[in-house]
Structure 1
Amino acid sequence: MPSSLLIVESPSKAKTLKKYLGADFEVLASYGHVRDLVPKNGAVDPDKDFAMKYQLIARNSKHVDAIVSAVREADHVYLATDPDREGEAISWHLVQILNGKKLLKDKTAQRVVFHEITKNAVLEAIQNPRDIAQDLVDAQQARRALDYLVGFNLSPLLWKKIRRGLSAGRVQSPALRLICERENEIRAFTAQEYWSVHLDSHKSRTKFSAKLTQLAGKKLEQFDIPNEAEQAAILARLAGQSATVAAIEKKKKTRNPAAPFTTSTLQQEAVRKLGMTTDRAMRTAQQLYEGIDVGQGTVGLITYMRTDSVALAAEAITEIRHYIENKFEPAFLPKSPVAFKNKSKNAQEAHEAIRPTSVYRSPEAVKPFLTSDQFKLYEMIWKRTLACQMAPAKFDTTGIDIAVGEAVFRASGQVLVFAGFLAVYEEDVDDAEDEDSAKLPVLEEGETLPVDKLYGEQHFTQPPPRFTEASLVKALEEYGIGRPSTYASIISTLKDREYVTLDKKRFEPTDTGDIVNKFLTEHFAQYVDYNFTAKLENQLDEIASGQRQWVPVMDSFWKGFKKQITEKEGISRAEVTTENLDEACPKCQKPLMIRFGRRGRFIGCSGYPECDYTRDMNETAESAAAAAEEPTLVEGRDCPECGGQLLIKKGKYGKFIGCANYPKCKHIEPLEKPKDTGVTCPECKTGHLIERKSRYGKLFYSCNTYPKCKYATWNPPIAEPCPQCGWPILTIKTTKRRGTEKVCPQKECGYAVQIAPPEGKEEAAPEGAAD
């Protein structure tokens, strides 16, 4: 029997560690958190020093039972949950459970911490166990209690004042405020016109452009040429003038590598470069950290992925420098290691940045063992880590002033003379740097240049861009809202609650999000204030470092928050969800107002329910009147269900035919007769499959006897039986990867044969190949 028990969070991590530790160790997983606050009011009691009532998480109870049984048999118990506050708290909860069963009377449960899952790191951690760090546990408990008290007191208020099912959160709400405030800036933005003037010239075969920067001895600012008339006047003044090289300025420029990844910068780069969501990036990083079988056993490929430190271990730096020395020219290796300073003042120096556990494990070497996401993320981490210890990139920059009469034009160019770290990791450059990289010919001062073209370009100022996941993470970090490990869950919550939508990968607040944010910023301004949120995060960090006690921090927060909740109980729902308009109702002449319903904001009459006038927010009164035209009679037909008249009506999804006796008779049919495919329904064998549109406009094919027969398929059907399973029909399916195929709609069959290959490929798939 094993004499020692090691407890981790993840079952995949348990498998990896079992191979390192051998027969003397049993390794079990808690499967994440084992206890949580009871899901009802009173789980945190402010009157008793914020005492908390916990219960076992039901889905993990069998895993806890397995741990309890193993502890009875073990001589030594090691708690190897994740190396952060949450991991520390999980270990503490396990000890509380074991103490409650009196299993630790004659044995101790010690904490072991490792930031990478490699054999050496794990064995070293086992040799150096410690007690549970109560300060870290207190910080995590304080965070959980704060989130609970905000959620259980503020969310019900939102239910009463806006709509059931809404939620507010300590860090979620300031994040929503960021998105809503950016949207308000965009709505309030007015574009401003301005012009720039340019000169095109050439020498030999090299063409180049220059921009007007000075006129009559005055340096031009952005709006100094406000309109077309002004730029035309400038062009007229310069017409026919010769161009001369007035000055040449040459400089040497260097660009230093970026620091290795923290959780925040990893998420930002994964969104920008790899097109991942923050949640997907963190799940993939977790897999790389917990371990992958790379042909020589399972090994963790990266260090712990929840960190705000840019520090690297001394042995890691030594290995990276050794790799650079062996794989690159001597100039690529700096004389001394490159050091980086943590931007976060509360960064935990004991932690490392995210790096490969061995730089000698190159992306290409492990690619056969990784999924596409795992490979792309690992390659990015590997390259960034290697690049951070390489020499700076070097550029020769040239600035040329060209005089044309009383005007001075500026041309800039940049040439890379030494790649340095850019040989490994290419970073994003801004537009100005792109312009500076133009190729310039060799010129001399006093040289006359041809004026190929003088012209103006019109520009308009642009509104601030909506947040992407990457820029939102950056803003959250800059404001100190939440912590890097919480960014992905903050974003997921905003999307799940339907407070925001993603349009072209940019966040846009929904009507619900707007109203919730308006309510919180007007009535709970202090608690969605960025500085207040950041200050509270700093206090939690101070609890973790032992500089503060958690109960006084909780008490200070709760007194003000509880008072605010009580004061706002008297607010009416109408105050929160309606807004008066300076427009009369076309039906009854009472004032119109913006109201909030299940589908969002709309314009409705203040005389409701006596007057039922409504229209869409984007509609004018005239367009709404036109849309509300009287239904027209369908000539020569009666309702097949009740014999009443049939009318052409207009609904949410367009025009349709309906019975005039609605709601007594609910017969409806499409205005346009659906296309009949001529294929007999394979299920009822009496109806035909016809083409229909879903509520979202997507085509599908279903039996014309619906609702008697509910058979439907997304792909166009053909009247050919499946040669593999005998199903009466096949369907035509087209994808980018496989081209066009005949496919059996029965998923369990899997029959597919290619008709046409994907674009750019000529060979067809073999007959009968499965999808």
Structure 2
Amino acid sequence: MNLVIVESPAKAKTINKYLGSSFEVLASFGHVRDLPAKNGSVDPEANFQMIWEVDPKAASRLNDIAKALKEADKLILATDPDREGEAISWHVLEVMKQKRALKDQKVERVVFNAITKQAVSEAMKNPRQIDGALVDAYMARRALDYLVGFTLSPVLWRKLPGARSAGRVQSVALRLVCDREQEIERFVAQEYWSLVATLATPRGDTFEARLTGADGKKIQRLDIGSGAEAEDFKQALQAAQFAVASVEAKPARRNPQAPFTTSTLQQEASRKLGFAPAHTMRIAQRLYEGIDIGGETTGLITYMRTDGVQIDPSAIAQARKVIGEDYGNAYVPDAPRQYQAKAKNAQEAHEAIRPTDLSRRPASLRSRLDQDQYRLYELIWIRTIASQMESAELERTTVDIEAKVGARNLELRATGQVVKFDGFLAVYQEGRDDDGDDDESRRLPAMSEGEALQRRELAVTQHFTEPPPRFSEASLVKRMEELGIGRPSTYASILQVLKDRGYVRLEKKRLHGEDKGRVVIAFLENFFARYVEYDFTAALEEDLDRISNNEISWQQVLRDFWTDFTGAVEEIKDLRVSQVLDVLDQMLGPHIYTPREDGGDPRQCPSCGEGRLNLKAGKFGAFVGCSNYPECRYTRPLAADSGAEGGDRVLGKDPDTDLDVALKSGRFGPYIQLGEAKDYQDSEKPKRAGIPKSISPADIDLDLALKLLSLPREVGLHPETGQPIKAGIGRFGPYVQHEKTYASLEAGDEVFTIGLNRAVTLIAEKIAKGPSKRKFGSDPGKPLGDHPTLGAVALKSGRYGAYVTAGGVNATIPNDKTPDTITLEEAIALINERAAKGGAKGGAKKKAAAKSKAADGADGAEKPAKKAPAKKAAAKKAPAKKAAAKTATTSKARTAKTAAAAKPAKKAAVKKTASKASG
């Protein structure tokens, strides 16, 4: 028997059918090991040795693999054909070696670019060994991201209270967004005027021509800068005689674009379908894993993480056949089109994204796919077909016109374009990020040189230049690709992290830099400038690619980076918070202190009139406060108008009940409400609906609000049980439910459109993973590290949401933090704060209090004399119980953490001191 390992259970089921009874296919469910989220997981002093930890959720699956391997003759690692897939195979193999499950079995690595019977069978015939260079590149990237996160984030917390975290690539992407915000704020609009004449030929055909010259001088777009100048030209044109000076028609050809790469697919799906990059990749994953066709699950597209633009010769031949059948032989070029792009990393130099079988027209699959799957498959299909079609043949016409009045000679120009043969344009035209008019559809009437023209109308229009547009998700991905920042598999996750951490918000399909993101970037640009430079990040990506190609040692890349990085951290260790805030206050001044309408000092306190506004930092981030604190307690958010969107607003009427649908703000965040209490009888309460984190309150309109109020909705009946499957949004996000099984969705907006097939698959996958461990008390949680005094710290999911716990002290994770990204330092701060408020129960509470006092005494903090004996006793007792945990913590870290635990002891005094320091 041969044991085959893939990532997903859906893929395992399909491949098992392809390979037959002599193979057993098991799923790893993605990554099985990772670096523990605590200091020391990567050791720069030991040549960057890494400590890998098995994910608790993966332990049982690895045991199943080990058990099956003992009965197998061969282990075949068939994870995805990219760097991450190579890493998963390596991790599985390493764990099997540790478990001593491998005896004399042969180990092979196979990759297939599509999940079809032919692709899988062909891959099995061409096995190889695990690519060590790809694994090295994975380890280098993972170690870099870990070291930056665990070194830079604590610096942020200490020097910039309220800041969340910073990452190696995400910070550079955030800088792009924030730099664009600065451009917009610095932008000064410039007035300009345009003059467009509507002219008619002797045959009565009309067209438009724009003023482009006067008295031998060219007039550019911004040259007419005042109404007086425009009026002068208007009077001249009204009295002028018009004639055709020249007509020039040039043939042109437009070639089709290459098939999709990961980046171009994300961009086009964003422009044409309105999909977020993360949503695009999730839909593409499902199309890659396949659907049931004729009783057999078949992958519909090739692997979706690639920067290659070439496609297999057999697919080209099939595309040419389909083009001839559907559009005619005139649309089939004489020779197949070949596309080439320089791959930036070897593991992603695969085929472009294309349908596995181009004879499967989108219409034939409409009934088998949900709406989003169908739309994305159609987009991929037509792009692939168009890439092999004949070029479009155009005729571009330019007509220059003379307008003479007395001694003056004015010049106008009309341009147009005629499509002589549409070629690939019959199928596909690439989307645009702007609404510009490039005259592609404008056709000019027939004219000849010297022909007289009549003026019918004259439009004189005032314009103002506009600031550069904010990035859309598509244009940001495009810009990152142009700069060489990130890689195909990282774009979607980078954007998602920026949104999840509240650094940016998506509003009307544009990315807006939030204040907390701008403060973080301002800090990094001032104190870690090199590490958010575009060229530096791109160069580091190239080094990682060189590791993939086995050109350089991964440890050498890390050493070069780490030496300079730690030096930069060391340089700012003695900076006080107030010094940091002064620098940021100066840099962000134009954003924070906008000019006043009365021309007064924008930094003057509007409350007391005497103090000066400056940047301060608090527990929940940066804010603006008065320098006369505590006498004057005026505060506001960074942007003076950032609170304008707050408050309740009525979105419209519910067509069924005629009740108001309102967006309201509550203690736990914004929500939707139908009607008011007076509209309901007895004790019945108004119907409410929460807003998913992926949706900005500013984007909520009546239609979306009604959809949210309609949840949970019935998706359909389960084909096996006949019981309904429902979709809704709960405490842990969007979900589907069948009987007592709940399965989470992967994007908030899917809850409105998810189809029955996908819902059944999610339910099946959830059942395959086994029962949930969310029940209170049964979840061992995710280990984060050790508390200085309370022992092991774990992240858990409880009855009321995610929380961290240590030594019997449970601390809820605030709404502004993402549970999956919580760090040990953040967890310790939350636990200390909760312990001081009495967060533990019974004996645990007493122990926590005693240990907290011990920490206070050990740190030498000033306390009232009557408390000293109790602290001294506790101080003697604490080390005996947790000596091991303490020895694992450095003296410097222990001092910082125990100081945090000691804060509440003299709450009023400390609070006052901290406020003065911030000022």
Which category describes the TM-score, using the shorter chain as reference length?
A: 0.7 to 0.9
Partner deviation per Cα, 1:653-698 (whole Å, 9 max, x = no partner): 599xxxxxxxxxxxxxxxxxxxxxxx9xxxxxxxxx9999554484
Q: Is residue 413 from structure 1 mapped to residue 416 from structure 2 by the alignment? A: yes
> 2:244, 2:453 within 8 Å by CA — same for their partners in 1?
yes
What's the counterpart of residue 903 of structure 2? Answer: none
> How far apart are the structure 2 equivalents of 1:296 and 1:746?
26
1:560: Cα distance to partner? 0.7
What's the counterpart of residue 392 of structure 2? Answer: 393
1:172 maps to amino acid: Q
Partner deviation per Cα, 1:523-563 (whole Å, 9 max, x = no partner): 11111111111111111111011111111111110111111
> How far apart are the structure 2 equivalents of 1:461 and 1:374?
40
> 1:394, 1:419 within 8 Å by CA — same for their partners in 2?
yes
What's the counterpart of residue 795 of structure 2? Answer: none
1:322–1:654: structure 2 CA closer, same or farther, 3 Å change rule?
A: closer
> 2:661, 2:705 within 8 Å by CA — same for their partners in 1?
no
Q: Any residues of structure 2 matched to 1:676-687 within 5 Å, and which?
A: none
Q: Which moved more, 1:481-490 or 1:573-582?
A: 573-582
Q: Is residue 467 from structure 1 mapped to residue 466 from structure 2 by the alignment? A: no
What's the counterpart of residue 273 of structure 1? Answer: 272
1:223–1:59: structure 2 CA closer, same or farther, 3 Å change rule?
A: same
Q: Which moved more, 1:65-74 or 1:179-188?
A: 65-74
What's the counterpart of residue 367 of structure 1? Answer: 366
What's the counterpart of residue 2 of structure 2? Answer: 4
> How far apart are the structure 1 equivalents of 2:711 and 2:88?
49
> How far apart are the structure 1 equivalents of 2:64 and 2:712?
45
1:611 maps to amino acid: C
The root-mean-square deviation of aligned C-alpha atoms, in Å, is: 3.3
> 2:162, 2:617 within 8 Å by CA — same for their partners in 1?
no
> How far apart are the structure 1 equivalents of 2:620 and 2:568?
30
Of 713, 722, 742, the residue aligned with 2:687 is 713
Alignment gaps of 5+ in structure 2: 587-592, 594-600, 650-656, 690-701, 716-722, 727-919
1:604–1:431: structure 2 CA closer, same or farther, 3 Å change rule?
A: closer
> How far apart are the structure 2 equivalents of 1:750 and 1:143?
41
What's the counterpart of residue 140 of structure 2? Answer: 142
> How far apart are the structure 2 equivalents of 1:371 and 1:692?
30
Aligned residues: 669
What's the counterpart of residue 546 of structure 1? Answer: 550
> 2:247, 2:399 within 8 Å by CA — same for their partners in 1?
yes
> 1:117, 1:303 within 8 Å by CA — same for their partners in 2?
yes
> How far apart are the structure 2 equivalents of 1:705 and 1:327?
59
> 2:299, 2:356 within 8 Å by CA — same for their partners in 1?
yes
1:122: Cα distance to partner? 0.5
> 1:690, 1:704 within 8 Å by CA — same for their partners in 2?
no
1:615: Cα distance to partner? 4.5
Q: Which moved more, 1:326-335 or 1:37-46?
A: 326-335
1:341: Cα distance to partner? 2.5
Q: Tell me the SS of whatever aligns to 2:443.
A: coil
1:607: Cα distance to partner? 2.6
Q: Which moved more, 1:575-584 or 1:153-162?
A: 575-584
Q: Which has the higher helix share?
A: 2
1:350: Cα distance to partner? 4.8
Using structure 1 for the length normalisation, give the TM-score: 0.81
1:314: Cα distance to partner? 1.6
What's the counterpart of residue 404 of structure 1? Answer: 403
> How far apart are the structure 2 equivalents of 1:457 and 1:24?
77
Of 24, 41, 44, the residue aligned with 1:26 is 24
Using structure 2 for the length normalisation, give the TM-score: 0.69
> How far apart are the structure 1 equivalents of 2:710 and 2:637?
44
Partner deviation per Cα, 1:35-93 (whole Å, 9 max, x = no partner): 00122100001111100001101112221111111111111110001000111111011
Q: Tell me the SS of whatever aligns to 1:571.
A: coil
1:394: Cα distance to partner? 0.8
> How far apart are the structure 1 equivalents of 2:338 and 2:548?
26
What's the counterpart of residue 110 of structure 1? Answer: 108
> How far apart are the structure 2 equivalents of 1:535 and 1:595?
36
Partner deviation per Cα, 1:210-244 (whole Å, 9 max, x = no partner): 01112112121222211111011112223322111
> How far apart are the structure 2 equivalents of 1:746 and 1:435?
48
> How far apart are the structure 1 equivalents of 2:648 and 2:299?
56
1:329–1:745: structure 2 CA closer, same or farther, 3 Å change rule?
A: closer
> How far apart are the structure 2 equivalents of 1:561 and 1:236?
66
1:407: Cα distance to partner? 1.1
1:609: Cα distance to partner? 2.4
1:212–1:323: structure 2 CA closer, same or farther, 3 Å change rule?
A: same
Q: Tell me the SS of whatever aligns to 2:572.
A: helix
Of 589, 613, 617, the residue aligned with 2:610 is 589
What's the counterpart of residue 756 of structure 1? Answer: none
1:185: Cα distance to partner? 0.3
1:224–1:149: structure 2 CA closer, same or farther, 3 Å change rule?
A: same
What's the counterpart of residue 224 of structure 2? Answer: 225
> 1:401, 1:411 within 8 Å by CA — same for their partners in 2?
yes
Q: Any residues of structure 2 matched to 1:256-655 within 5 Å, and which?
A: 256-342=255-341, 344-346=343-345, 350-405=349-404, 406-428=409-431, 434-577=438-581, 579=585, 583-585=603-605, 586-587=607-608, 589-597=610-618, 602-615=623-636, 653=647
Q: Which moved more, 1:590-599 or 1:101-110?
A: 590-599
> How far apart are the structure 2 equivalents of 1:339 and 1:512?
47
> How far apart are the structure 2 equivalents of 1:746 and 1:254?
51
Q: Tell me the SS of whatever aligns to 2:455.
A: coil
1:397: Cα distance to partner? 1.9
Q: Is residue 48 from structure 1 mapped to residue 46 from structure 2 by the alignment? A: yes
Partner deviation per Cα, 1:442-490 (whole Å, 9 max, x = no partner): 1121111111123322121111100110001001111111101100000
Q: Tell me the SS of whatever aligns to 1:472.
A: helix
What's the counterpart of residue 647 of structure 1? Answer: none
> 2:471, 2:511 within 8 Å by CA — same for their partners in 1?
yes
> 2:504, 2:513 within 8 Å by CA — same for their partners in 1?
yes
What's the counterpart of residue 69 of structure 1? Answer: 67
Q: Tell me the SS of whatever aligns to 1:234.
A: helix
1:205–1:297: structure 2 CA closer, same or farther, 3 Å change rule?
A: farther
What's the counterpart of residue 211 of structure 1? Answer: 210
> How far apart are the structure 1 equivalents of 2:240 and 2:349?
66
Partner deviation per Cα, 1:233-266 (whole Å, 9 max, x = no partner): 1122233221111111011111100000000000
1:323: Cα distance to partner? 2.1
> 1:333, 1:390 within 8 Å by CA — same for their partners in 2?
yes
> 1:690, 1:703 within 8 Å by CA — same for their partners in 2?
no
> How far apart are the structure 1 equivalents of 2:634 and 2:704?
48
> 1:498, 1:513 within 8 Å by CA — same for their partners in 2?
yes
1:327 maps to amino acid: D
1:439: Cα distance to partner? 2.3
> How far apart are the structure 2 equivalents of 1:576 and 1:57?
39
> 2:259, 2:384 within 8 Å by CA — same for their partners in 1?
yes
Q: Tell me the SS of whatever aligns to 1:518.
A: helix
Partner deviation per Cα, 1:407-438 (whole Å, 9 max, x = no partner): 11111121111111111112236766642432
Q: Is residue 243 from structure 1 mapped to residue 247 from structure 2 by the alignment? A: no
Partner deviation per Cα, 1:166-212 (whole Å, 9 max, x = no partner): 11111010001000000000000000011121111123453210011
> How far apart are the structure 2 equivalents of 1:383 and 1:61?
43
> How far apart are the structure 2 equivalents of 1:705 and 1:335?
71
> 1:308, 1:348 within 8 Å by CA — same for their partners in 2?
no
1:213–1:27: structure 2 CA closer, same or farther, 3 Å change rule?
A: same
Q: Tell me the SS of whatever aligns to 2:630.
A: coil
Q: Tell me the SS of whatever aligns to 2:356.
A: coil
> 2:42, 2:51 within 8 Å by CA — same for their partners in 1?
yes
Q: Tell me the SS of whatever aligns to 2:489.
A: helix
> How far apart are the structure 1 equivalents of 2:703 and 2:725?
15
> How far apart are the structure 2 equivalents of 1:367 and 1:745?
22
Q: Which moved more, 1:447-456 or 1:38-47?
A: 447-456
> How far apart are the structure 2 equivalents of 1:744 and 1:189?
46
Identity among equivalent positions (%) equals: 48
